[in-house]
Amino acid sequence: MEFKSVTLGGTFDRFHKGHELFLDTAFKSGEKILIGLTTHSMLKKLIRKNSIWSYERRKKAVEEFIKKYKKEYTIFPIEDIFGPTIKIEDLDAIVATEGTKHTCERINLIRKRKGIKELKIIHVPWVYSDDKRIISSSRVRKGEIDMEGRVLVDYSITDRLKEELRRPPKTILEGDNFSVTRDLISYIKEKKFDYVVCVGDEVSRDLLEHGFKPRNIIVDGKVERKPTDYLDKIIEPYSNKFYVKNPPGGISKESWRVISEALEKESAVIVDGEEDLLAIPTILLAKNNSVVIYGQPGRGKVIVKIEECKKQKWRKRLGEFKTIRR
């Protein structure tokens, strides 16, 4: 549906892929686009840190992107979160992200009180970086990602998170190894998951020895940091093999790309280092209605059914990791 006039507003610092979708949605939705661009006075805290682009540079970045649309537009400065949207009568719609939809709802309340027609709110979803966290200007400024969403840092687990992850989750199968593996295979077949991914040598070996081949395995040739003698045997059935370095207690920036590529086909990922924490990027990168299985030392096998609510939980945990530039 195309509206006569559509508005949106933002800072547009470190112009990134999320900004592109935001503007693209506006230009595909309206004949005339009004773009509010925050001024320095509205961004005092960031300005004092000398961390944000100037108004002129941000405006130029927006103009460079939108020149391809060949539509009428106006870029104007805004000094507060509402700008002129609570005054202009001949507006039809406003574009909102998940982070700004509440402000848009407040704008409509004010317009309604003033007797001005309410705006149709056009929702734009979040855009995620390669590590499946939200792309944001603040993350680009911190050097965590670039403006294309590529990961620039390694993640390192904190002591608090380490203790938290040692607690047994609700979806863990415990008992003798033979029975647990048998029950696990029965569960997988019953649920009819699209893909099964195993993280860990022991859990991968157990399923393979019971005649069940996971679509993907991620292994490092060790169990509880002690070398195994069956690495070659468990990776042999996989014609597609990927290799990645990953440090103990961490998630390397390269692992996101490698695991993402590996999950596109039946494959084995062989890790130089440790794969213990690679269950996290695997959960975030796996498709919904897949299942990720990993072992918890001394306890059993953990089952993670991939769905959006689980991914949100792990995104939040990942945000609590330390980040390291190298």
Is residue 7's pLDDT more than 80? yes
250-251 and 241-246 beta bridge pairing: unpaired
Q: Give the CATH class of 3-127.
A: alpha beta
pLDDT for 302: 93
177-191 helix and 201-209 helix, angle to the nearest 10 degrees: 80
The whole-chain average pLDDT of the chain stands at 93
pLDDT for 140: 95
326 burial class (0-12, 13-18, 19+ CB within 10 angstroms)? exposed
Q: Residue 170: pLDDT band by 50, 70, 90 thresholds?
A: confident
Give every CB contact of residue 214 below 8 A, 6+ residues apart in sequence. Answer: 196, 197, 198, 204, 207, 208, 293
Structure pTM?
0.85
Q: Give 266-314 pLDDT, tens digit per residue.
A: 999 999 999 999 999 999 999 999 999 998 877 889 999 999 999 999 9
pLDDT for 257: 96
Q: Where are the domains of the chain?
A: 3-127, 153-325
Is residue 263's pLDDT more than 60? yes
Q: Give 77-127 pLDDT, tens digit per residue.
A: 998 889 999 999 999 999 999 889 999 999 999 999 999 999 999 999 999
Is residue 46's pLDDT more than 70? no
Q: Residue 12: pLDDT band by 50, 70, 90 thresholds?
A: very high
CATH of 153-325, one of 3.30.410, 3.30.1460, 3.40.1380, 3.30.1390: 3.40.1380
Q: Residue 174: pLDDT band by 50, 70, 90 thresholds?
A: confident
Question: Coil, helix or strand for 38?
Answer: strand
pLDDT for 48: 53
